[in-house]
């Protein structure tokens, strides 16, 4: 059974960057598609981008293009999401979630990482 475990909460200053990790266990990491999705307080979900580790291919939502970088380390079955030029509106819970080629849904999700951007 696949499990995704994310890194802990972060507090960042405006203009800085944050890097969140997502470690997978219980499956074949390199064949997954890992997406990152965020949820601002009291709001809905926003898809940010994804990576296909076996191909090293990334796709980003246009809204975040240039500010987000998603990477993966196959040796440790860990995906990373780095968001730069942080502003207060980036305060949110960031989730990683597994997809699969030909499977356009997310299952499972990581537990979420709260990123707070505050001066």
Residue from the set 2, 74, 107, 118 that interacts with another protein by CB under 8 A: 107
Pick from 51, 50, 27: which is nearest to 37 by CA?
A: 50
Residue written as token pair 């951007």: 117
For the CB of residue 67, give the shortest distance to another protein in the complex, in Å. 14
Residue 26 Rama label (left phi>0; alpha psi -120 to 50; beta): left
Site map (CB under 8 A) of another protein, residues 43-82, x = contact: -xxxx--x--------x-xxx-------------------
Q: Cα–Cα–Cα angle for 35, 95, 33, nearest 5°? A: 20
Q: Pick the piece of the chain touching another protein (CB under 8 A) from 8-16, 17-25, 73-81, 103-111.
A: 103-111
CB atoms within 10 A of CB 79: 29
List of residues contacting another protein (CB under 8 A) = 35, 37, 44-47, 50, 59, 61-63, 95, 97, 103-112
């Amino acid at each position: 059974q696949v499990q995704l475990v994310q890194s802990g909460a972060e507090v960042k200053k405006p203009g800085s960057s944050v890097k969140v990790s997502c470690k997978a266990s219980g499956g074949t990491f390199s064949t997954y598609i890992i997406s990152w999705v965020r949820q601002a307080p009291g709001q809905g979900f926003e898809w940010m981008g994804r990576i296909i580790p076996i191909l090293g291919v990334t796709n980003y939502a246009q809204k975040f293009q240039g500010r987000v970088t998603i990477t993966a380390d196959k040796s440790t079955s860990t995906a990373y999401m780095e968001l730069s030029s942080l502003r207060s509106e980036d305060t949110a819970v960031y989730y990683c979630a597994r997809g699969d080629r030909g499977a356009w849904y997310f299952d499972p999700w990581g537990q979420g990482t709260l990123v707070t951007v505050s001066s």
